[in-house]
Structure 1
Amino acid sequence: MEYDFLHSLSPKIMDIVQRDGPFWHQSHYRLFRERTRMHILGIVISGEGILRLGDRAEQVMRQGAIFQIWPGLKMEMTTSPSNPLCFVSIHYQYGLLQWDGINAKWLKADGPLPLGDFLPEFGTQSMMEKFKHLFGIWGQKEAGFEWEARVEFLCAIREIASALARRREVEEAGTAAIVREAIAYMKAGYQDDLTRDFMARRASLSPSYFSSIFKKHTGYSPIQYLTRIRIDKAKQLLKESRLPIKQVAEEVGFVDSFYFTRLFTRETGLTPSHYRHA
């Protein structure tokens, strides 16, 4: 979650509920809404169930799962008598209050919080206790309970957002290492017939995912990056040697010298011959 979003977030809690065995028994182990009307952020405490939202893939709800529901969705939740689902959920509406100096601007929000729709096994014991504490605050309704619940709710969102940020840092550190290794391999083997699929196999990744993380870290696809390495090496050879253009192309990994010339011209604005004499 972007922290400027969190800074602007202004929720109004409508209700905080706990759904457990007795509730499900009365509901025949099914909760259905043709069209949801509120935002919901919940965490599974125990048991197991299935969540279906609109035409999205169904999600298995187990202990620690954090889920969101937002207005305008068809929603169905089911569980079983043998292992009834128990969760605590916060029902709320929200908007964004943005300040520009002493002037405030209110923006109504319709979609879910940018936390992820469904986070399986993400909730820690601390998060579960925080949601149960919120349920207690709301149920006791002591003086100032709405303000206290709002503060605790924002703290819960901050805790989830921080945990997501930490996980993202770990994931990106891992993918950054993969990309660095791929770049080192390209620099050492640019003369070879390197393909995206070959480099993805070396990294034990699917070609599409390899391309995705490579572009995320470099701004280029793997082949675009390899081409830049080859063109840079070609520039060096053109300036430092008298090798024929065809041989320069072969030395930097291009089988087709005409294709090399087209790429070189597109990248530099000069043909290889003109670049050599520039």
Structure 2
Amino acid sequence: MTVHNPSSFVDWHSKGEHASYMRTMKSPGAILDLLEIQRPAGDMSRPALQDIVLVEDMLGCSRVRGDLGGGRFDVATEKGTLAVAAPNFATTVFNDQSHRLRSLAFPLAQWQGVLDEAADGRFSIDTSLIYGRIFDSPAIRSTLRNLWALCNDEGAPSRLLARAAGFEILAELCRMGGAPLATAKGGLAPWAQRRCLELMRAQLSEDISLDELAAEARLSPFHFARMFKHSLGVPPRVYLTRLRIEKACELLEQTDLAVTQIAQEVGYSSNQVLARVFMKHRGLSPSDYRRFVCDSIGRTVSSHVPKARRAFEA
């Protein structure tokens, strides 16, 4: 019997018994590796690999337990929640339900020098990132979505897009790296944070006030604003804007709604207001974003593994 000794995250999921779980594999310029994996409930542990791996839960799960390099956890996850598995660490993960994941792997051979240069040689792979914690980040999810849509082209444009997206994601993971697993002292209680984020998502089309959010957390507006920023890194209004732009991207990608209607769906008074905010956060107009994504989808690479593997080797 041949023993499979994987050399990378992609290798682990593209060969042997795990290959049947992989739905799609993409390579944006051979700088980052993107995989979509569909697995049944049960054990999804793996050996230590030399990749930093960011995982997005596409469905949510009633119970996930294990260790990704940041200590033991036992939690329920929601659709869109994120986690980072540490490199050179044998992860253990058990899911109580079938699950679908999108994973972004940073091969250390590609990124170690970049990280060392950015930190003047003081970057620590072991301690600098937010390993093993289940967290939420609209900014990272949005970057992942863009990368997934735009990474079908190989060559210089793809490599530049992949590198830029990698920088953005790693910078956010470094910023979050000092946060503890639970809410930091001085931040929102877990129940208050959860209820406020649920309210934001449920009422994106409305103008939610600071007073309403503070009342949901049973705090004064002053203390709520300070504690929200302590917990999530940005003020409530900035976080709400990120959620709105993320939802606008989703509607532009998945529906034929007019931009004016999408603006109303995400809480902006007109398509001009949405366009101004969208341009600031995405660097292009909503119409151009939709056109670009549709063009990219038209060039989608087949999810057949051998063909995808040739793209990695190109």
RCO (CA 8 Å, sep 6+): is it higher in 1 or 2?
A: 2
Larger radius of gyration: 1
Instruction: Decide: shared fold, TM above 0.5.
Output: no
Question: Please, what TM-score do these two structures have when normalized by structure 2?
Answer: 0.37
Structure whose residues are more often strand by fraction: 1
